[in-house]
Amino acid sequence: GPPTPPSPPSPNPPSPPSPPPPAPPAPLPPPPPPSPAPPKPTGHREPWECPPETVAVNASGVASCTWVNGKHGVRIINTAHRYCDYFEKGYFGYTFDKTAGTPEQFPCPVSAGLGSNSPNNNTGSWFCTVTTDSSRGTFPKDAKANCSGNGPIKFFGYYWPMQ
């Protein structure tokens, strides 16, 4: 007779379930965020109001706003020099040589902006400049920059006669 067809292969017994893959390690918590820089002032400052990190004085018919090294978070490097020639144009501040320190070591006051006169960090100067924009308001009528004294500074500011 005809050949008998081969019998179908017997089904393989089901293999035991493979063990589940090991769970991935729990993710590490994200590092804490760096402490935030002090917030830049917001809102508008009236001309007679001093920026928040200055020392305000009102005495003997003259008022002043002064950034003082060591007060209200102001840190001025001991080799800084004031520049005040442009106060009447709405800005003034101080400068220091890039070889003397960095803005990370000696950050500009909150109401000042950081500038530079060279494209690299090894030559030239850093400038911390207070402007009517950065300080959120104009300077008072008849105000003058307090730029007395030569050499390294411990403060800078402006003053005006009281009306």
**Predicted pLDDT of residue 45:** 65
User: Higher-confidence residue: 163 or 53?
Assistant: 53
Neighbours of 135 (CB within 10 A): 25
pLDDT tens-digit map of 105-129: 999 999 999 999 998 888 999 999 9
Determine the pLDDT at residue 15: 58
Q: How many residues appear in the chain?
A: 163
Percent of the chain with pLDDT strictly greater than 90: 45
Confidence band for 13, pLDDT divided at 50, 70 and 90: low
Q: How confident is the model at residue 26 (pLDDT cuts 50, 70, 90)?
A: low
The 10s digit of each residue's pLDDT in 122-160 is 899 999 999 988 888 888 889 999 877 666 788 899 999
Q: Is the pLDDT of residue 35 over 50?
A: no
User: Is a pLDDT exceeding 90 seen at residue 102?
Assistant: yes
pLDDT at 49 over 90: no
pLDDT value at position 32? Answer: 46
Q: Residue 68 has what pLDDT?
A: 92
- Cβ atoms of residues 75 and 107 within 8 Å: yes
